Amino acid sequence: MEIIKTAVAGTLESSDCMVTIEPAQKGLELDLESAVIRQYGKRIMEVALETLDRLDVQNARVSIVDKGALDCTIKARVECAAMRAAEHEGRISWGGVIR
């Protein structure tokens, strides 16, 4: 999936996270800011990277500001931001790349 513009998904409300995806020339950069980074930082990075892998996002700068989101929310926000940044339209592959 090619990232062609900057896009944001999610909010800074409790139990949510805000994901920003920007186009990048080469490689994937992911950074995380979280109040629970000591307890869940690794897990959040893992979930985000798996999600980006499934979406085949190869070149992008991704930043996540987490407010205690569950894994399902992290996935949903990363996917939404990526879809927006790639200007994806039409049917979504539920159960395929989205799972």
* Closest distance of CB 78 from other proteins, Å: 9
* Closest distance of CB 29 from other proteins, Å: 5
Q: Per the structure block, which two tokens stand in for 72?
A: 């399902």
By the 8 A CB rule, do 47 and 74 touch? yes
Q: Residue 48: enclosing H or E segment and its boundaries?
A: helix 37-54
* Closest distance of CB 36 from other proteins, Å: 5
The beta strands (E) that lie in the chain are given as 7-9, 17-23, 28-34, 60-66
Could you list the residues that contact other proteins (CB under 8 A)? 9-10, 13-16, 26-43, 45, 49, 53, 56, 58-59, 63, 67-73, 75-77, 79-80, 83-84, 91-92, 94-95, 98-99
